[in-house]
Amino acid sequence: MPLSFIRAYPPARPSSGPAYWFPFRAGNVLVQDTGQQITIIEGDDAIASLLQTSEVYYLGTLNGTPCMTCEVDAERELPAHWQAYSLRGLFGKLAAEWLNLVGYASQILYWQQRSRYCPVSGHLTEPEIGTWGRHCPHCGHVSYPHVTPAILVLVYDGERVLLTHKPGWDKRYSCIAGFTEPGETLEECAQREIYEEVGLEVTDVEYIGSQSWPFPHQLMVGFVARYVSGEIRIEEQELDDAKWFPIDDLPQLPPPQSLAHTIIMTWAKRKKR
């Protein structure tokens, strides 16, 4: 049976009994690691006592089982077989559905930690009932968890694709990426980022897919775009290389769990057909 997650919002409370737990410590999520398998922590209310955390957040249910997240003191001693992993460190170790939940938990905790004070008046905020939002009782300002749109775009020209490289990426190449600016559409953002980073003009910007990317709160939106004109001119503050690659001779790519990998492989399979 596929995993089915149903979100819950404050002040909803879970039923008592077994639950999935997504505790974080110093930005890393705690999981059970036996050395042979990594799984999400499961347990009842005793888990909260074990973690000695002051705030526990109810995220929703996964196939009817409550999902909980919390922040754990960095000095807290962990039970045997519990290990802390970064979000990226779990790539390839957990199924995509579990990774999505870990990412959601991390974004809710990130929001809770950074929304305690009103950005307008500086006063303490209060929960906005029925949502994850926060409102200021002093000035009335209301804010909600941040979702920052960003694009990934693969430029193609016949049987070749343009891939870029940033310092620190070792041998890995990827799509062009960038954040959407005020006043522009996602398609306009894709065209602008391509021109700014590699000096090329494109057309036929086509949507491929999207992915929540909790680093810390991006929504990645993926496109392909057809090359029209221009010679590669690298924006050296962003990139240190950009090359055309035949689809049958691609370099090292981002991990399979990433939207960038999906875009590149989707286009390669489409062209090969």
Q: 15 pLDDT exceeds 90? A: no
- The β-bridge relationship of strands 148-157 and 218-229 is parallel
183-216 burial, b at 16+ Cβ within 10 Å, e below that, comes to eeebbebbbebbbebbebebeebeebeebebbeb
Nearest-5° Cα angle at 53, 52 to 54: 125
For 205-251, the pLDDT digits (tens) are 999 999 999 999 999 999 999 999 999 999 999 999 999 999 999 99
pLDDT score of 242: 98
| CA–CA distance, 270 with 233 (Å, rounded to integer) | 28
Please provide the average confidence, as pLDDT, over all residues in the chain: 95
For 149-158, the pLDDT digits (tens) are 999 999 999 9
Q: 114 pLDDT exceeds 80? A: yes
Q: Which domains does the chain have, with CATH numbers?
A: 5-114 (3.90.79.20), 148-272 (3.90.79.10)
For 33-48, the pLDDT digits (tens) are 988 899 999 998 888 8
Both tokens assigned to 118: 């009103």
**What's the pTM?**
0.92
Q: How confident is the model at residue 79 (pLDDT cuts 50, 70, 90)?
A: confident
Inter-residue contact 125 to 236 (CB < 8 Å): no
Phi/psi class of residue 252: alpha, beta or left (left: φ > 0; alpha: ψ in -120 to 50)?
A: beta
pLDDT score of 1: 58
For 4-13, the pLDDT digits (tens) are 999 999 999 9
Provide the greatest CA pair distance for the chain: 63
pLDDT score of 53: 83
